[in-house]
């Protein structure tokens, strides 16, 4: 139960229509997709449900109608997420294509690029992964070394990316490459929509080496790119102007999920209340304090999400305030995972047997392990603090440490 907010008659009408549609169309027996979108995609019935949502126009719902979206306002997106969660059905999206690439093309693409790339995201033809981070370019992303060499009407890309989430399921990478090695660090980068396969079905110079995670899965890879070819048409925002496009993408990575976070955590919160009862801890004063702390944080997340989304609607893209959202939910998620581990006590430490004799963490253990990474991806918590300090509060840049001297005037943005 959350404190009800009156979102006005238009939102209520939208909610009523949506409830009606879900009542008639909701599938039975599908599990909800977790926060990372992992695990639910291959369950039986998921493909049919995805197709039904696509046919009914429930993909890329916040994109403007002229680009094939549903043109939903921030409030309507919030309502949609809540209603899907209440109905207990997966809210399928087109992943990074919908959340990161599409909004960046809408801001920076030409009319021809919008007409070509956006429908392919909506209908699922193009499935994107993010080729930003490199072994020596994480927080200091502008230090990237992947090269892009122009050859006629193509760009040839060679380099190494790392931590490429979802690369095995993708057929396109939105890839940053240095196309002008002589320009200042932030100026010579291009944002290239790079096919991972050639037309004949062979790899377009991509070698993916899965990285094993503590949960036992391998959701990301080291990615080696050798002379991948992309048409110059696929460069978004113009050659050597990729940094501006990257800022739009990162703004969406930090603020674009603002209305979805609280839905997942509200559900987890009530699961934790049940766990506390089940483990005989609901009278424990420490657990009660922790649960009260968690509930108030989820509520703050909900209100802050609506605020971030109003900014997105007003300015078309999230500003530096999105960093507050990223910092808040990611640090909450880690602390909350610890609270659940404490409630479950010894059960948290015993891993059930996996099918092949290895360990297989259960749902809460997986949650604990996977939330270790949320203060890293999309820009670390420390870097978000720098952004909030400098760009929201107007504080001076970091003091002159050795590291700061080295990076002088080139702020770390991730
Ligand atoms: C689960 C997961 C999924 C990911 N998915 C992708 C993906 O799909 N595509 C992709 O391109 N990347 C992805 N990443 C990479 C992610 O964006 C980087 O890990 C992140 O930007 C940090 O970079 P780094 O790991 O090189 O750490 P570093 O930048 O080396 O940072 C190391 C430490 O130094 C601190 N630090 C660095 N600079 C500063 C500063 N200026 N001020 C204060 N502290 C600082 C950091 O906060 C951190 O604690 C993923 C990462 C994870 C964990």
The residues spanned by each domain of the chain are 9-92, 126-242, 256-406
Q: How remote is the CA of residue 380 from the centroid of ligand 1, in Å?
A: 6
pLDDT tens-digit readout, 68-124: 999 988 778 888 988 888 888 888 899 999 999 999 999 999 999 999 999 999 999
- Write down the H helix ranges in 88-148: 95-96, 102-108, 111-122
Helix (DSSP H) and strand (DSSP E) numbers for the chain: 13, 8
Rounded Cα distance between 77 and 260, Å, is 9
- Nearest atom in ligand 1 to 373's CA: 53
Rounded Cα distance between 378 and 381, Å, is 9
Give the pLDDT confidence score for residue 319 in this predicted structure: 73
Position with higher pLDDT, 241 vs 44: 241
Pocket test for ligand 1, best of 34, 144, 333, 380 (most atoms within 8 A of CB): 380
pTM of full prediction above 0.85: yes
| CATH superfamily label, 126-242 | Butyryl-CoA Dehydrogenase, subunit A, domain 2 (2.40.110.10)
Pocket test for ligand 1, best of 34, 194, 196, 377 (most atoms within 8 A of CB): 377
- Write down the H helix ranges in 316-362: 322-344
Q: How remote is the CA of residue 254 from the centroid of ligand 1, in Å?
A: 14
Q: Does domain 256-406 have CATH number 1.20.140.10?
A: yes
Mean pLDDT of the chain: 88
* Ligand 1 proximal residues by C-beta, below 6 Å: 129-130, 132-133, 138-139, 163-165, 220, 373, 376-377, 379-380, 382-383, 386, 412, 414
Active site residues: 253
Give the pLDDT confidence score for residue 226 in this predicted structure: 98
Average pLDDT rounded to a whole number, residues 339-348: 95
Is residue 183 over pLDDT 90? yes
Average pLDDT rounded to a whole number, residues 164-183: 97
3-state SS class at 8:
coil
Is residue 357 over pLDDT 80? no
Rounded Cα distance between 136 and 355, Å, is 37
Pocket test for ligand 1, best of 137, 139, 388 (most atoms within 8 A of CB): 139
Q: How remote is the CA of residue 144 from the centroid of ligand 1, in Å?
A: 13
Q: Which DSSP helix (H) or strand (E) runs through 83?
A: helix 74-87
Furthest C-alpha separation in the chain: 71
């Amino acid at each position: 139960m959350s404190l009800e907010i009156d979102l006005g008659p238009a939102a209520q009408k939208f909610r009523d229509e949506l409830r009606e549609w879900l009542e008639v169309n909701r599938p039975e027996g599908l599990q909800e997709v977790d926060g990372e979108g992992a695990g639910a995609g291959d369950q039986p019935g998921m493909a049919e449900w995805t197709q039904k949502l696509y046919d009914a126009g429930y993909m890329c719902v916040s994109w403007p109608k002229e680009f094939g979206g549903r043109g939903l306002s921030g409030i309507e997106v919030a309502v949609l997420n809540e209603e899907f969660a209440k109905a207990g059905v997966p809210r399928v999206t087109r992943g990074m294509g919908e959340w990161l690439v599409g909004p960046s093309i809408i801001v920076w693409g030409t009319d021809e690029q919008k007409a070509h790339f956006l429908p392919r995201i909506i209908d699922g033809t193009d499935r994107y992964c993010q080729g930003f981070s490199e072994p020596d370019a994480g927080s200091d992303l502008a230090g990237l070394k992947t090269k892009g060499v122009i050859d006629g009407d193509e760009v040839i890309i060679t380099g190494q990316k790392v931590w490429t989430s979802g690369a095995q399921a993708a057929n396109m990478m939105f890839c940053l490459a240095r196309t002008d090695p002589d320009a200042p660090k932030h100026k010579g980068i291009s944002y290239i929509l790079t096919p991972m396969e050639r037309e004949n079905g062979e790899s377009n110079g991509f070698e993916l080496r899965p990285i094993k995670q503590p949960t036992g899965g391998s959701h990301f890879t080291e990615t080696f790119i050798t002379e991948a070819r992309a048409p110059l048409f696929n460069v978004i925002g113009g050659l050597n102007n990729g940094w501006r496009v990257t800022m739009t993408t990162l703004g969406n990575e930090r603020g674009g999920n603002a209305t979805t976070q609280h839905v997942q955590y509200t559900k987890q919160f009530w699961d934790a209340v049940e766990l506390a009862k089940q483990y005989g801890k609901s009278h424990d004063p420490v657990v009660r304090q922790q649960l009260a702390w968690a509930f108030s944080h989820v509520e703050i997340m909900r209100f802050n999400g609506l605020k971030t989304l109003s900014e997105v609607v007003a300015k078309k893209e999230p500003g530096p305030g999105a960093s507050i959202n990223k910092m808040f939910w990611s640090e909450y998620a880690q602390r909350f995972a610890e609270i659940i581990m404490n409630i479950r006590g010894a059960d948290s430490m015993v891993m059930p047997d996996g099918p092949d004799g290895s360990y297989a963490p259960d749902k809460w253990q997986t949650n604990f392990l996977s939330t270790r990474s949320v203060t890293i991806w999309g820009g670390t918590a420390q870097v978000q603090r720098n952004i909030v300090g400098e760009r929201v509060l107007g504080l001076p840049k970091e003091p002159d440490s050795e590291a700061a001297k080295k990076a002088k005037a080139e702020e770390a943005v991730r």
